[in-house]
Amino acid sequence: MRKTIKPYILLHILLLFYSCAGICSKLAAGQSFLSFNFIVLYMLLLLIMFFYAIMWQQILKKMELVTAYANKAVTIFWGLVWGRLLFDESITICKILGVIVIVFGVYMVVIGEEKD
């Protein structure tokens, strides 16, 4: 059981890290174009995406693409969390229901994968 859970834990840690790219992007969008802060934030964004791309390939060695890609939808949850914590965005019932549907869908894919 532990061997099957570890790739999922690593995947979700990677997806949490990947969601930070959205933070950098949103912060950079608020800066003057080509200002120092703009460039630093976009360089950080590129660094995150570079690391993510390498680690994504490592994850795909341990699980099927369909399963890994279905789990990627969890970044919607992290976007909601980051939006509230860092940008004071509202969390509505519709957004919460959307996240629940997404998490349920990911759960169904994972359970289906375990049966195969």
CA angle 58/76/97 to nearest 5° reads 135
Structure tokens at 20: 């930070």
Amino acid at 48: I
Range of lowest pLDDT (16-30, 36-50, 65-79, 84-98): 65-79
What's the average model confidence in pLDDT over 3-27?
Answer: 91
Domain with 23 in it: 2-115
- Stretch 72-88: mean pLDDT, rounded? 92
DSSP string computed for 11-58: HHHHHHHHHHHHHHHHHHHTSPTT-HHHHHHHHHHHHHHHHHHHHHHH
User: Total domain count for the chain?
Assistant: 1
| Alpha-carbon gap, residue 41 to 3, rounded angstroms | 37
For the entire predicted model, the pTM comes to 0.79
What digits encode the pLDDT tens for the residues 37-50? 999 999 999 999 99
Of 109 and 12, the one with more pLDDT: 12
